[in-house]
Homo-oligomer: A and B are copies of this chain.
Amino acid sequence: MKNLLIASTSTVYGGTYLDYLAEEMAELFKGTNEIIFIPYARPGGITHDEYTEKAASAFQKIDKKLIGLHTFKNPAEAINSAKGVFTGGGNTFVLVNALYHFEAMQPLREAIFKGLPYMGTSAGSNICGVSMQTTNDMPIIYPPSFKTLGAVPFNLNPHYLDPEPDSKHMGETRETRIKEFHTQNTVPVVGLREGSWLRVTGEKIVLKGKLKARIFEQGKDAYEVESGTEFSNFKV
């Protein structure tokens, strides 16, 4: 029975790191006081130690201890015996490359399907999708594959941004990019705005937070779903 919290961002505008998720985090990880942190995405290039320290201080507020996966000799084994896992944001290419390099992708997938409480923010949410192919990140490293955990039957686009009507920028909008994805792929995409998250319990997937999410399916116009929508009830 799956048990996941898939968040668009770690930090909402005006807030502090993970503060808006504190209640949900406490609920997700209620069964354990020790959580493994996957720091591989290295936002801004910070070290694994620095990143773990930052995340640990947010978890201290809900009385949980965080241990960096990089401190284990055998990351795959550490995942196998973990009671909870949190993967932070950063660069999705760097994250996915490291998960493959340390042979942790498959053990993480298996653990999640067996019920491991898992939380992801941003890049850590991207990898919950079928593939990382709707990330916003730069391809700063070449991973062995774009395939990810497939913990949900669609892809995520975290930090989803609406087009700015007054923009003079000629680069593609986020919606255009996702439409281009659908010229090559059939997997649906959930655009999660900052402050939104998905709560997965078993086969039930619910949109939470105050905002709507934007859904992209191949061959259909994009559409909005309200907070509280059960994704399990409609075919994405």
Contact = CB atoms under 8 A, between A and B. Distances in A.
A136 B171 contact: yes
Interface stretch (A22-30, A103-111, A175-183, A205-213): A175-183
A168 interface: yes
Contact of A138 (B43, B94, B170, B177): B177
Nearest to A185: B140
Nearest to A136: B171
For this chain, the copies found in one complex come to: 2
Interface residues of A, number: 45
B140 A159 contact: no
Contacts of A169: 13, 159, 161, 194
A181 B178 CA distance: 23
A138 B134 contact: yes
A11 to B, nearest CB: 6
A133 B43 CA distance: 17
A12 to B, nearest CB: 7
Interface of A: 9, 11-14, 42-45, 90-91, 93-94, 122, 132-142, 145-146, 159, 161, 168-172, 176-185, 194
